[in-house]
Amino acid sequence: MARELGGISAHRLLLASDAVLEAVRVLARPGGRAPYPPSLLGSPSQPAVLSGFTPDEVTEATRMLMRLGFLEGA
């Protein structure tokens, strides 16, 4: 049985985290900060890699990556 964190399975959270990191990599500008990933959902600049995830999944993945130090806070 998959353990659930806030309604999102650990596996799904890891998949969303990979997608968030890829989205940030694609949109990061040299010397600048990347946009906050959840704010990209539904926008014209949304990377395709995020399209298979819900806003909650992207938000939780972003928060986890920030806690782990992989992303900077807004």
Q: Which residues contact 46 (CB under 8 A, 6 or more apart)?
A: 40
Looking at residue 34, what is its pLDDT? 79
pLDDT confidence tier of residue 1, bands split at 50, 70 and 90: very low
pTM, two decimal places: 0.85
- Rg of the chain over Cα atoms, rounded to whole angstroms, equals 12
17-66 pLDDT per residue, tens: 999 999 999 988 777 777 899 999 999 999 999 999 999 999 999 999 99
Please give the Cα distance from 46 to 38 (Å, whole number): 9
